[in-house]
Amino acid sequence: MFTMSTQNPFAAKREQLRTRTPMRCPICHGALTKVIIRDIGSLAPGTVWQVHAGECEEHGWFQTEVVKRPPREIFAVTRPFGAARRVVVDGHEYYAFSTVWSDLPGDEKRKKTDPLEEKFWEALPLK
């Protein structure tokens, strides 16, 4: 595990390197490499607030934010935790890719759900 300070053994562990994420490349659906998960904190007891980032060898870096529920969108970024970037696929520009979670009806979204459930992280087909 990575800690904020190698000098202080009591420093909070903020980032997980070389780990796994349910996120896949939203374009080719391939596994991501160089995965980094950054714990942002907690909004309330028992909630998860994280940023997941990973690189697709062919399509570059992507990231998403997880706050208690699976992510609604996956963003193309310049680098982990960096600025959004434009991706052109078949002549269409994309900055974000909607996930299965964003397309669920409201009653399904209100059900108790594991925020890391892989089926909800899948990117919807490109239009």
Residue 9 lies in a domain: no
Cα–Cα nearest to 80, from 11, 126, 16, 29: 16
Phi, psi of 79 (to 5 degrees): -165, 170
8: CB partners within 8 A, 6+ apart: none
Residue 2 lies in a domain: no
Query: What is the tally of structural domains in the chain?
Result: 1
**Per-residue pLDDT tens for 21-75?**
999 999 999 999 999 999 887 777 777 789 999 999 999 999 999 988 999 999 9
Residue 6 lies in a domain: no
Residue 1 lies in a domain: no
Q: How far apart are CA 55 and CA 61, in angstroms?
A: 4
The range of the structural domain enclosing residue 51 comes to 15-120
10: CB partners within 8 A, 6+ apart: none
Share of the chain above pLDDT 70, in %: 89
